Amino acid sequence: MDEIPVNIISGFLGSGKTTAIIKLLSQKTSDDRWAVIINEFGKISIDSQTIRSTSSTTGTVFDISGGCICCSAKGYFQENLEKITGTGDYSRILIEPSGLGGIEMVTDIVNASAGLHLMPVICLVDITMIENLRLQRLPIYRTQILKAGLIVFSKCDLLNDPVREDHLIELFKSMYPDKQISRFKAHNIPLSWLSENDIKPDPGKGEFRMILQNDRLLTDDHYLQQTCRFEALSVFVPEKVIRFFTDYPKILRAKGHIRTLEGWKLFNYTLTRCSFEPCEAKGQSELIIISEKSPSDLNENPEDTIREMMIANDSTKF
């Protein structure tokens, strides 16, 4: 039996991994069966729900929530790989690790699994964040880049400025001169991503062993994940939502489904922007907030703070 190619799509929180996977899935042939393993740091599977809702023919999605597959959830990851390979039904496996996770444990497990062929690891880099000094200082961000076989710049379409884009790429090259790079815009992601440079990494050599194993900042222990749920009648005010996250600088990422005055929205927050995209109605509003650990950035009951600062006072009438 031929080995199943495995593509790891890594990248920091909010770099566009889920969007990239959705675009790749949309290009495959209908008889080409892919398994997609989505690892979310929070307890709510926002990304998995998003992929499932885009098309009925995307592929089979396997959720691993509540911890990173590179450490606390690696047992569930191994179980899913065994389940996928055991069926003999899949021609490719896509893995989206948590944006807070490294890939050394993931690559080790894939390399040790019979019947799998690890392709060069792809790391998405949000081009709009290249000059963000706070992000550049995070060990996990740098390590994800160093361990990748191919760097792909995401969100180039947000710049809408070829000169600015070229400047940022050259700046990135000066920081990581040995990395092979590519770039894409949200509407144009080639399937050749998954097959070009088909060289199986040697886990005993090179950058897959560059991680500092004793650095606690390279694990999810350094980050705080808070899951917030709100009754369906709660109505969020987008302007208040944006102001809330601006006021809490330790927050790195937030996402979820929220009800607004304009209807239900898929909400995404990164260090550079907030976005609200239409989505199907949900039974309740749900948010995942990920921040650097700090004694008092958010209240012990974040729902109370959010309800006071982000939700319309007269939301019960909607």
Candidate from 92-96, 161-165, 198-202, 226-230 with smallest mean pLDDT: 198-202
Q: What is the mean pLDDT of the chain?
A: 77
Tell me the DSSP string of 152-211.
EEE-HHHH--HHHHHHHHHHHHHHSTT--EEE-BTTB--GGGGTSS-----TTSGGGG-S
pLDDT at residue 190 tops 90: no
Phi, psi of 121 (to 5 degrees): -70, 130
What's the rounded Cα separation, in Å, for the pair 259 and 110? 40
Weakest-pLDDT range from 49-63, 163-177, 179-193, 200-214: 200-214
Lowest mean pLDDT among 36-45, 92-101, 111-120: 36-45
Q: Give the confidence band of 175 by pLDDT, cuts at 50, 70, 90.
A: very high
Categorize the per-residue pLDDT at 227 as very low, low, confident or very high, splitting at 50, 70 and 90: confident
What does the pLDDT look like over 135-144, one tens digit per residue?
A: 888 888 888 8
Q: Where are the domains of the chain?
A: 4-218, 223-317
pLDDT tens-digit map of 10-27: 998 888 888 888 888 888
CA distance 222 to 231: 30
The length of the chain in residues reads 318
Report the helix count and the strand count for the chain, using DSSP H and E: 10, 13
| Top CATH class, 223-317 | alpha beta
Give the integer Cα–Cα distance in Å for 94 and 97: 10
Right CATH for 4-218 from 3.30.70.260, 3.40.30.10, 3.40.50.300, 3.90.1170.50? 3.40.50.300
Check if the beta carbon of residue 111 is closer than 8 Å to that of residue 100. no
Q: Is the pLDDT of residue 196 over 60?
A: no
Give the closest residue to 50 by CA, choosing from 225, 258, 266, 236: 266
